[in-house]
Amino acid sequence: MGNFLVWVVWVAAAFACLGSAVAVITFANPFYSALALVGNLGSLAVLYLLLSAEFVAAAQMLVYAGAVMVMFLFVIAYLGGRAETPWAGGPGWQAVAAVGAAGALLVEIVVAVGLKAGGRLSEEADVDAFFGGPHEIGRLFLTDHLLAFEITSIVLLIAAIGGVILGSNARSGPESTGGSPARAGGTRSPAPSISAAQPPEGEAAR
Amino acid sequence: MNEPWWIDGIKSVVIVNLVLLTFAYMTLVERKVMARMQLRYGPNRAGPFGLLQPMADLVKLIRKESFFPANAVDTLYIAAPVVSAVTALTAFAVIPFGPGWEIFGYDVSGYVVNVPIALILLFALGSLGIYGFIIGGWASESKYSLLGSMRTCAQLVSYEVSLALSVLGVVIMSGSLSLVDIVDKQNETMWFFVPQFVGLITFFIAGIAETNRAPFDLPEAEQELVAGYHTEYSGMRFGLFQMAEYINMITLSALCVTLFFGGWHGWNDDVLGPLWFILKLLIILFVFIWMRATLPRLRYDQLMAFGWKILLPAATLNALLTALLVVAL
Amino acid sequence: MIDKPSVDWFALSPVLALLGASGIALLGAVLMPRRVRGPFAATVVALGFAGALTAAALVYAFTDEATSIVADAVRRDRFAALAQMIVAGCGLLAVGISYGGRRGGRVEAGERSDRRTASGGPLFGQVADVTSEYYALLAAAGAGMAFLVSANNLMTLFLALEWFSIALYILCAIDVDRIASLEAGLKYLIIGSFGSGALLFGSALVYGATGELGFAEIARVQAAQGLADDPLLLAGLAMIITGLAFKASAAPFHMWTPDVYEGAPTPVTAFMSAATKATALLLMLRLLTTAFPEQEDLWTIAVAVIACASLAIGNLAALVQRNVKRMLAYSSISHAGFMLIPIAANNALGGRALLFYLIPYAAMSLGAFAVVAARERELGEPVTLDNLSGFGWERPLLGIAMWVFMLGFAGLPLTGGFWGKFLAFSAAQDRGWTWLVIAGVAATVVSLYYYLAVVRAMYMRSGAELQLSGTASSVAAGGSPPREALLSLSVVAALIVTVGTFFAVDPVTELARDAAASLPF
């Protein structure tokens, strides 16, 4: 009974994970893509649960699905852009090549995992009751991964500083000079219209 | 304590229905209490003292046309209130309400599930609930809704940080994230509202903001935004949003009781545990209503400045001090 | 209670010095009076880099035996110490090149803005001056690199890589008024994230196959369990090499390089081209030799192929560039190829060659971009081969320096670049890969064309017969060029290192040999 239930949940979560991952990159509307990413993170959290990593699963939901993705949706909803069509004009050869390479990698990894599945991957992992709990993870943070834990905070701090620097500058001018494609180099295609991504004031939505 | 799975089912059904009943009567109590505070009578036509008012409201909501904006994104528009309501209801699963009993030879525990990470789970569910608001506002394809949902989103994310930090002190003192353990610990030592007074205050304020209640009900400030993210909703879909808000408030009050006021502990709590719990819950809910009747709404910049510049540092300092004291003592 | 690992503060001191400098510079950005913020931050960060250089030298001197420290997260050895010295030296020169420039929204004197009002002034004059933050981020990036070269497990590797990458993303985009700068930041962010993703995925696969994160442990488990041909491990190895090749801008993972190098503020480009490449290559050497000795046959070939691709693409594309920064970007791709050759050789001589090569290369790269930066400030527009003409006569010092750097890039004698290439080729020869040596020599010959084109542009025509714009024309008319003492000083320092490594080849090679000895060959 219990084992069967685990299988059902696993199959559902695994396919939801794959499906939502594909959905993220195929939706034309960024809002849907972001929602699909939320679904992806959620199904990953379920897989973590099955691996008896409850804390990681909950943290994943809290941090990624709950906070990070809300910010994504926030920005996307503000910027609007329901009708964006990144695939207009059909995929270019680079896209085809990228899909080909990704497919090759997928096959390779599936084959690799498949070859190993007969071996130790099918064995039941032996974990104690504390595995994946806050105690055990906290202990790891303070012992084996002390340095990694500390530098994570530095990485986040630098990212926050960068956000402030770039953000506070960008706010200084709702620039609307769409008409000067000239750029410093001048040797290549016109610069992407970063300024066009910001809607004029007063028209915050769509 | 080994209980058969169907007892969990029964407990879930009972709890969900109790919560829904509380929600229904909260609407009435709120209107009554507010009315009395404003020297009015409040609803008093449906049944004695207006006691049937929630039923009448429910019938009205169900029978009303479920308006559907022409441009709305249908699936998301329909799913949004459901998401909010479901996450709000699920959160109750981890809140302990009694010591556990033996009934007809069966062990019945005082909670639906006891997970070691209950507190994080609660916050995770709470943050998932935001999706209902943001998706609902976006899918309605209306400026008021969108602005309302943007406000909700910004406000909830900002205050969620303070909310999480304010309970850190409790977690440090009890040494566990499990609500059952936290309640037990309070029984052994003392109710945490005494040592964690700052934590309680920040928790309560952030909680009010988190549930979009006055004086932090900016997302639905009717003078500016009609009704915020649910402007385009009507009928039972509107009702679901409303329900989600109230249940969030009830959950938060229950969490407040659990974390700071000893949960179900009280006089003769072996038997009366759940009653103590409900009593404390009602008192907190009353404070919520009281606040709404008393305080005017903040301006938006005040709200953000308050959240980031006062509440968050206070909560952080509280957590730091608690950690220091726990290590030192 | 839990047993906390002991922390070897001395070994971490180069990183801590830089982090401290970064923090003080950030505080200064808030607390110091507005006028002195820029100089203050530059001074603090320069002191930080100098301190890191000293600390790393001390660590080098007092570390006889390589040890793993802080719960095996990082390695304390001479290899890391020498690498940290290179990074700190790069940072020191980068501060000198940056000094005097103002970073942030306002348009710098030497760089054209894409957004101007009708009156010609920059749009919205009151934009934030983030010069102090610029220096702070420079120090933070340097700290990340100094940490990365000592990384000893996959987790610290990835985190340190993100650490300096994020700082560099921001540094690239820091001139927010220039679209090219924003574009550079964005491109670097997106493609860099892709590279990090590949690296992370590869690490996950390796961890999945071996169950270990530490480099040495990975090798140990492979040997113990006979995992040498494990498909999961091999896929992971390939993806890790991919991720690191992105950072080292080796072909075919180089496509971000020209745009980013061109668009980023020139001092940042200088720092990136020298320090990032050095870090990524050194880490690649450490990782491959320490963690994957069992797959030696495979990865040496893979690295050699990447090296050849970089040589070919970098050199051929550089031939047709007119923009000097772009040309130098392609040149840096080809140099990634040159420096991958000793990695592919996988012998002690190769390790020595890489470490040696990096020293003059970093100096030349920083120096060349410094000269470009100087010209850019004069002209107020991107430096091309056309508007470089006459430069050698106007600014003799910079002109001669540029000449030396170009010759050094080409690997001609009297510069350290000669010995670098010589050692790299002899390492490949040692392995018996003559074809790799031939590829390298052919690439060197091709590269002469575009390196000498720069020299030709600087000297073959005098400035007077040219239509120069801005200050340059006034310079040509007898006015004096803007003096940037620190920039010139940095160029001179780079010059000294470039030439010095030619004459002082023995002591430097000994340094490199001792450092390379801490790797298991």
Q: Identify the pLDDT of residue C30.
A: 84
Q: Identify the pLDDT of residue C387.
A: 81
The closest CB to that of B116, out of A38, A62, A133, belongs to A133
Asked if C157 and C33 touch (Cβ cutoff 8 Å), the reply is no
Q: Identify the pLDDT of residue B193.
A: 80
Centre a 10 Å sphere on the Cβ of residue B28 and count the other Cβ atoms it contains: 20
Higher pLDDT, B143 or C220: C220
Beta pairing partners, C67: C76
Q: Is the pLDDT of residue C453 over 60?
A: yes
3-state secondary structure of C161: helix
Cα of C130 vs its chain's centroid, Å: 23
A24 interfacial to chain B (CB closer than 8 Å): no
The CATH classification number of A1-84 equals 1.20.120.1200
Best mutation target, C30, C138, C179, to test chain A (most A CBs within 10 A): C179
User: In this structure, is residue B123 part of a structural domain?
Assistant: yes
Only one residue has tokens 């004009």, namely: A89
Query: How far off is chain A from B191, nearest CA to CA, in Å?
Result: 24
A81-90, C10-19, C70-79: range with lowest mean pLDDT: A81-90
Please name the helix (run of DSSP H) or strand (run of DSSP E) that holds residue C345, with its range, or none. Answer: helix C324-345
For residues A130-159, give the mean pLDDT.
86
Token pair listed for C107: 């348009």
- Confidence category of residue C244, pLDDT binned at 50, 70, 90: very high
d(Cα B97, Cα B251) in Å, to the nearest integer? 12
Q: Identify the pLDDT of residue A177.
A: 39
User: In this structure, is residue B7 part of a structural domain?
Assistant: no
- Confidence category of residue C297, pLDDT binned at 50, 70, 90: confident
For residues C128-137, give the mean pLDDT.
84
Centre a 10 Å sphere on the Cβ of residue A108 and count the other Cβ atoms it contains: 15
Q: Containing domain of residue B92, as a range?
A: 69-328
B147 interfacial to chain A (CB closer than 8 Å): yes
**A143/C127 touch (CB, cutoff 8 Å), yes or no:** no
Q: Is the pLDDT of residue C429 over 70?
A: yes
Query: How far off is chain C from A187, nearest CA to CA, in Å?
Result: 8
ipTM of the complex: 0.85
- CA-based radius of gyration for chain B: 20
Q: Identify the pLDDT of residue C90.
A: 93
Q: What is the pTM of this model?
A: 0.84
A57-61, A191-195, B30-34, B82-86: range with lowest mean pLDDT: A191-195
Neighbours of chain C (3+ CB pairs under 8 A): A
Asked if A168 and C104 touch (Cβ cutoff 8 Å), the reply is no
Q: How many residues does chain A have?
A: 206
What secondary structure letter does DSSP report for C477?
T
The closest CB to that of A166, out of C112, C176, C381, belongs to C176
The closest CB to that of A77, out of B126, B150, B156, belongs to B150
Please name the helix (run of DSSP H) or strand (run of DSSP E) that holds residue A75, with its range, or none. Answer: helix A69-79
Q: Identify the pLDDT of residue C22.
A: 93
Q: Identify the pLDDT of residue B88.
A: 83
Q: Is the pLDDT of residue C361 over 90?
A: yes
Domain count across chain B: 1
Q: Which of C292, C313, C290 is nearest to C302 (CA)?
A: C292
Mean pLDDT of chain C: 85
What are the 10-residue block averages of pLDDT along chain B, 329 residues in total? 71 84 86 86 81 84 77 76 83 80 73 80 83 81 80 83 87 84 82 83 88 76 70 76 84 87 77 81 88 83 85 89 85
Give the CA distances from residue C6 to residues B295, B308, C9, C12, C78, in Å, rounded to whole numbers and listed in that order. 54, 36, 9, 12, 20
d(Cα A51, Cα C272) in Å, to the nearest integer? 41
For residues A166-179, give the mean pLDDT.
50
Boundaries of every domain in chain C: 9-115+127-516
Q: What is the DSSP track for B17-74?
A: HHHHHHHHHHHHHHHHHHHHHTT-----SSSGGGTTHHHHHHHHHHHS-----TTS-H
Higher pLDDT, A121 or B177: B177
User: In this structure, is residue B90 part of a structural domain?
Assistant: yes
d(Cα C405, Cα C415) in Å, to the nearest integer? 8
d(Cα B76, Cα B258) in Å, to the nearest integer? 34
Inter-axis angle of helices C179-210 and C215-225, nearest 10: 40
Q: Which of C507, C496, C184 is nearest to C367 (CA)?
A: C496
Boundaries of every domain in chain A: 1-84, 128-168
Task: Provide, as residue numbers in chain A, all residues whose Cβ is less than 8 Å from the Cβ of B125.
Answer: 61
**B134/A67 touch (CB, cutoff 8 Å), yes or no:** no
The closest CB to that of C182, out of A143, A162, A194, belongs to A194
Query: How far off is chain A from C260, nearest CA to CA, in Å?
Result: 11
Q: Do chains A and C touch (3 or more CB pairs under 8 A)?
A: yes
pLDDT tens for each residue of C320-344: 888 889 999 999 999 999 999 999 9
Which residue in B has a C-alpha nearest to residue A76's C-alpha? B138
**A61/B127 touch (CB, cutoff 8 Å), yes or no:** yes
